[in-house]
Structure 1
């Protein structure tokens, strides 16, 4: 199988929605699922197009409660194309005898290709080839080409091509009892020639959305369509285009589409722009050529080669493709964040969670301007986070666990347990650690880029306000003579409270407490890094007083961290919980990834047990090196034993269900430092998460962007050991010999670097230029790397 393609053979209706998600084409402005153009949303297919940042809010009465949900809107379907012969039935693969069916996603060009040959009920044999893409250079443009070849028949071939505004959000079965009609029809009209324009608007946010579609039909003998007529049906508008063909001839329909919304910059009005730009587009192949060039430039920045590992390399490239189809240089022009499930479906309602924590390490060293833009999404919503903290009685910024259009908390109040059919309270809004992740992202971006302008105008303010919130949330425990943090949820997500108080949060979550200490230290460091005048102005504007900075220092030296049996406790009281009979539950249910749902259906509660959905304490080993973590513990006055890390990994690995695709990423990371021989096993598990739909149906609802990015980051920052710290590029490799040789490129402080890693050595080569030398370190050895030179380190 090619290292640059994802291929499927045969038509498999049961797998169609998974294929649609994995065959999505996008450009960071919008993305379209890989649904067949002739398909409508039904139990098999689900066409969906989503634009970054286009949300709408609806209310629904559920279980006696009115709930409000904001969703990423499924936009009008621009794909509809089908055909028929001699006024026969319109083509669908389900009604034909399929003789051949192939589909592949060309990863190098982000081009989806579909090829099929069929025999219809009249005995006629026909071949169809389709190609589509969402243009990476011109993000408002999509294109679909359909070629129909007549093998053993002659007759009248008629295409139907249109735009369908009669769509809703109904992909995720768990959400289907919730309101999903997000679009109102504004207008639908014909444009000159064979073009049509569809105008809609979101029902609550009132965002205008306009699509214009143009069609060109050509026979291989040079003739064009000899007839066309307008077809309308409510929110559906298009054309029927007909031509006579003879056996052996082929006919091609080129459909080009422009998409604009009211959130775009530098436009007059979406409908005007969509109609104005449509006739300016060239033919399909010309558009494809410029689209391919734009992708070639991106692949240069994201070059990665894994020697003699073609299958792993193919999946890694697929993951990079979907990352760049979700967030790209086009996204940098928008007010948008990182949607956890990409622009590939409707899971999590398109919300922005903490997944950027796993995404930014790839972007920081390749497209830093994009990271900066995505961090600005958070900074623009800082006022909302400040207000949320005030409403809860705290100073500083309390960022929401789930964010959408305006930065308010979008976590649902109720969620449906598919095992029991019950709507139950959703306490995930207590995951305030999202703010700590944002602080970590700000600092790591600064470390990777040295972007003092960002730190001056955006980063330092966010770091300070996040630190201020956690300082206010911490309280002094006189009996312990330490600071404590009560009533939160950690990354585990299973434990929303104690058995006698579910939903009320837990106390002294180790991950949260330690990351709070780190954030307080970085906020103070960021303040000191600012120019004197800027620092003085910021201190005055934020009313940051010396006694507050002293409190930060006190907390950073006196935060409480619970331990039991020689390992850090996930939270205070974790050791008092019951042990689960793992063998019994595996025998009864097989798949126990979502143990919380299983137990709730049994009228039990996951809060009673020492279990975890995903890494919690172990997230500390993901974020920090052993040296960094040891330094934090020493500052707090704790002296863990030398074998604490491997013991902690073993303890929690035995109690984790891996109910999140992120679990394999984090566990591969920590195992590389404690049980290196097991790390490749979890790395392969991370690679398989979406391509094999390891969670049994969730990928069809949208890809897991953090797991995809995290699997690539395992190669870069975990196995190769690349870190940006203290103004240096640092390598601390844990390279598995079984992976052979890795080559990849990064951009560090404006130096384009080519890095080669294997089990024997690391080579770092810098491109030519006039930049200042950068300092490279590897396990105690340090070298200055000048432009155009190479340094070598033994592993």
Structure 2
């Protein structure tokens, strides 16, 4: 096997959780963490298998409170395959010495390889090599090949394979006080052709799961019935220098799957008909080859290697199979149980990349939001408002899944969780609708489901905004912004802040874009929408007024994060950096000291600066001009500098946004933040969080940094608009994208020249706007343009 790899050498127990996350294999339907098959869940290892959209809700007793949580379910473990010298102890790197241990993630074929050598009694050495895949072409199949070779003396080896139903959700230490026993009615059995099976249900959502496994080797296979495990045994005779191969193939279905009757019957039938490992590997590698061609990314050096890994994990979580599912963007991928597998606003950082590569996946992810529009409207009604209020954390049915309390592991105290007041998640949904439709020209979606969502999100903002006669402006009160550290005013009895700048500006944008859409809709469709929503023309006139007069606070020549921000105290950053090794989670540090970050000008992550992430400089100036404010380059630069020195970067998204903004505001400082975004997960910069699941938004955002951030690419007015900025550390790059029906449009920037190649087809030419130039590039043509200084 050749091509890019991600490798780990040596066995280090303290790194296992991180390696397991970063060596996860998936296909968009399900994913399995990169745990060793001979190891069970403990403080070192955590095998986990997760099916997209498979949730279950349980109630727990915590600190005298009844706490309800919905979790993405850890399903039965299909990996177990352990081995031992006949009559001896089972071998694992934790219980026996190893003379070699090497893990290789082969990115191009989507394959995990491991090599481990165990010394045996009598001077012999057992070499174990495994190849693992979760099939990208067939979303229900996974396979594990194990090769045993003995060196020195011969040996007899006992091998046990299992489907294990004894799993729980226990992969996140701070959640372990919560009930994680999601599986019930576990049954096992034997089917024809040497196949074993396991059936189970989730406890409250009643999702049925069926797994079937087939084990093949040059040795007799026996089955030992157990109530919670489907187990197969064999004894191998190992001759020095001769490799013995054991193949394990698994099929997985749930009752959510279409076009099946019983999930277990489907799994058994599928595994009986499944080809052998060699053919599965070939078809799996072919599926990956095709997907890589659709997502070509050419970045040299270490940055390119990391970006390739990020792209690999994005595609494993959100693959072409996702287009057939009712799922959102899980913030931690399908790689672990942090955030309980919930859907946040991370799609804001994911869909802009997918729009230009896998638009059918973007459309499906937006359908997830549309199917939950009714729930969002109910949520708005529950707080006395019209329109749609999307939840900060979403799961199966669209209700708010944000917990009422969260644990500060530093102090051991359970604290109120007010992140549910991040109502700006609705603006993120609207932004993604607009971006998707600009990139794809999907008029049917824009005029259909997209218009319905935009209308209700805009209606919520219009109804939530209140008029302040003193300011002669509208205000949005009682919310929490992207920063998350600030959730209340110092000493306030109730949570919420007034006039968060990001919230107000994006709300104005939603109102303006929705009005734009209503003005161009075919009249019959416009009438349908207004009738269905019960909207009158005078209400639309009010939307116009609000979109032009929402309040944005300023102080000392910079945009204020929220009204009253300037009254907060300055934090002694040098003192806290001196006293603590890592102050990213400054909120936990201050709470443990009996203080609160609400008293200080200190942010967890980009808040005001998110505006520079979403909108180009000209668009942002136009937004502020529409609101009656003058935003010049000096004000924006001062704003960037102000928050740059007052942010602890307690989120992996913070480095990404700062890197993006600084490439255009302060280029000399940009690379440090780009590196932080690139290394966030591979170096586990957030201190142990990556082992609980990757940060999918940050990974996708780094890809989009190359695709849109450095190129200034916008899909606007029917053209690809480009405004590249030279970043010395990333001065040469290329990528392919899908745009307006053209597959594989290739953009390459090198030595100050931009090359755009459109593949041959019967499609229409593509308009490229670079500065003041407008160039039309037809199918089969290549344009080479000099980038303006």
TM-score where L is the length of structure 2: 0.98
Deviation at 1:504, TM superposition (A): 1.4
1:784 aligns with 2:773: no
Corresponding residue of 1:247: 240
1:481 aligns with 2:472: yes
Matched residues in 2 for 1:503 and 1:351: separation?
26
Matched residues in 1 for 2:260 and 2:312: separation?
29
Corresponding residue of 1:220: none
Deviation at 1:503, TM superposition (A): 5.2
Deviation at 1:2, TM superposition (A): 8.4
User: Retained in 2: the 8 A contact 1:185–1:235?
Assistant: no
- 3-state SS, counterpart of residue 288 of structure 2: helix
Deviation at 1:487, TM superposition (A): 0.2
Corresponding residue of 2:83: 83
Matched residues in 2 for 1:228 and 1:716: separation?
52
Matching of residues 376-387 of structure 1 within 5 Å: 376-387=367-378
- 3-state SS, counterpart of residue 648 of structure 2: coil
Matched residues in 1 for 2:2 and 2:36: separation?
23
Deviation at 1:476, TM superposition (A): 0.6
Corresponding residue of 1:292: 285
Matched residues in 2 for 1:204 and 1:239: separation?
31
User: Retained in 1: the 8 A contact 2:164–2:229?
Assistant: yes
1:593 aligns with 2:584: yes
1:793 aligns with 2:774: no
Q: Cα–Cα, structure 1 residues 2 and 699, in superposed 2: closer, same or farther, change >3 Å?
A: farther
Corresponding residue of 2:222: 229
Matching of residues 131-530 of structure 1 within 5 Å: 131-217=131-217, 224-225=218-219, 227-306=220-299, 309-501=300-492, 504-530=495-521
Residues 500-530 of structure 1 show CA distances to partners (whole Å, capped at 9, x for unaligned) of 2265100000000000110001111222332
1:692 aligns with 2:705: no
Corresponding residue of 1:126: 126
Structure 1: any 5+ residue segments left out of the alignment?
A: 218-223
Corresponding residue of 2:13: 13
Matched residues in 1 for 2:693 and 2:66: separation?
26
Farther off after superposition, 359-368 or 529-538: 529-538
2:703 aligned to which of 687, 691, 712? 712
Matching of residues 66-105 of structure 1 within 5 Å: 66-105=66-105
Matched residues in 1 for 2:65 and 2:236: separation?
56
Structure 2: any 5+ residue segments left out of the alignment?
A: none
- 3-state SS, counterpart of residue 94 of structure 1: coil
Residues 626-669 of structure 1 show CA distances to partners (whole Å, capped at 9, x for unaligned) of 10011011111111343111111110010000000000100001
Residues 244-297 of structure 1 show CA distances to partners (whole Å, capped at 9, x for unaligned) of 232222211100000000111111110110011111111111001001111111
Matched residues in 1 for 2:732 and 2:661: separation?
21
User: Retained in 2: the 8 A contact 1:496–1:502?
Assistant: no
Q: Cα–Cα, structure 1 residues 502 and 357, in superposed 2: closer, same or farther, change >3 Å?
A: farther
Residues 191-221 of structure 1 show CA distances to partners (whole Å, capped at 9, x for unaligned) of 223311100000010000110000001xxxx
- 3-state SS, counterpart of residue 687 of structure 2: coil
2:545 aligned to which of 546, 554, 560? 554
Corresponding residue of 1:740: 731
Farther off after superposition, 778-787 or 198-207: 778-787
Matched residues in 2 for 1:234 and 1:311: separation?
49
- 3-state SS, counterpart of residue 241 of structure 1: strand
Farther off after superposition, 206-215 or 729-738: 729-738
Q: Cα–Cα, structure 1 residues 122 and 168, in superposed 2: closer, same or farther, change >3 Å?
A: farther
Farther off after superposition, 98-107 or 616-625: 98-107
- 3-state SS, counterpart of residue 162 of structure 1: strand
Farther off after superposition, 331-340 or 92-101: 92-101
User: Retained in 1: the 8 A contact 2:24–2:34?
Assistant: yes
1:640 aligned to which of 622, 625, 631? 631
How many correspondences in the alignment?
786
Deviation at 1:341, TM superposition (A): 0.2
Matched residues in 2 for 1:578 and 1:502: separation?
19
- 3-state SS, counterpart of residue 169 of structure 1: coil
Matched residues in 1 for 2:706 and 2:180: separation?
40
Residues 31-58 of structure 1 show CA distances to partners (whole Å, capped at 9, x for unaligned) of 0000000010001100000000000001
User: Retained in 2: the 8 A contact 1:207–1:262?
Assistant: yes
1:665 aligned to which of 656, 660, 667? 656
- 3-state SS, counterpart of residue 791 of structure 1: strand
Q: Cα–Cα, structure 1 residues 29 and 156, in superposed 2: closer, same or farther, change >3 Å?
A: same
Matched residues in 1 for 2:435 and 2:140: separation?
32
Q: Cα–Cα, structure 1 residues 3 and 617, in superposed 2: closer, same or farther, change >3 Å?
A: farther
Matched residues in 2 for 1:2 and 1:710: separation?
27
1:728 aligns with 2:728: no
Corresponding residue of 1:625: 616
User: Retained in 1: the 8 A contact 2:553–2:563?
Assistant: yes
Deviation at 1:94, TM superposition (A): 2.4
- 3-state SS, counterpart of residue 643 of structure 1: helix
Corresponding residue of 1:64: 64
Residues 302-353 of structure 1 show CA distances to partners (whole Å, capped at 9, x for unaligned) of 10111xx321111101000000110111111111111000000000000000
Matched residues in 2 for 1:255 and 1:318: separation?
26
Deviation at 1:243, TM superposition (A): 3.0
Deviation at 1:791, TM superposition (A): 2.2
2:750 aligned to which of 758, 763, 785? 758
Farther off after superposition, 127-136 or 61-70: 61-70
- 3-state SS, counterpart of residue 633 of structure 1: helix
Corresponding residue of 2:53: 53
Farther off after superposition, 515-524 or 736-745: 736-745
User: Retained in 2: the 8 A contact 1:427–1:503?
Assistant: no
User: Retained in 1: the 8 A contact 2:188–2:226?
Assistant: no
Farther off after superposition, 340-349 or 724-733: 724-733
- 3-state SS, counterpart of residue 330 of structure 1: helix
User: Retained in 1: the 8 A contact 2:161–2:232?
Assistant: yes
User: Retained in 2: the 8 A contact 1:165–1:185?
Assistant: no
Deviation at 1:122, TM superposition (A): 4.4
Q: Cα–Cα, structure 1 residues 150 and 380, in superposed 2: closer, same or farther, change >3 Å?
A: same
User: Retained in 2: the 8 A contact 1:28–1:329?
Assistant: yes
Farther off after superposition, 47-56 or 495-504: 495-504
Residues 726-777 of structure 1 show CA distances to partners (whole Å, capped at 9, x for unaligned) of 2211001112133231110011111231101135121111111122222210
Q: Cα–Cα, structure 1 residues 122 and 190, in superposed 2: closer, same or farther, change >3 Å?
A: farther
Residues 164-188 of structure 1 show CA distances to partners (whole Å, capped at 9, x for unaligned) of 0000001101101111000013321
- 3-state SS, counterpart of residue 530 of structure 2: helix
Corresponding residue of 1:221: none
Q: Cα–Cα, structure 1 residues 187 and 531, in superposed 2: closer, same or farther, change >3 Å?
A: same
Matched residues in 2 for 1:535 and 1:558: separation?
25
Q: Cα–Cα, structure 1 residues 186 and 126, in superposed 2: closer, same or farther, change >3 Å?
A: closer
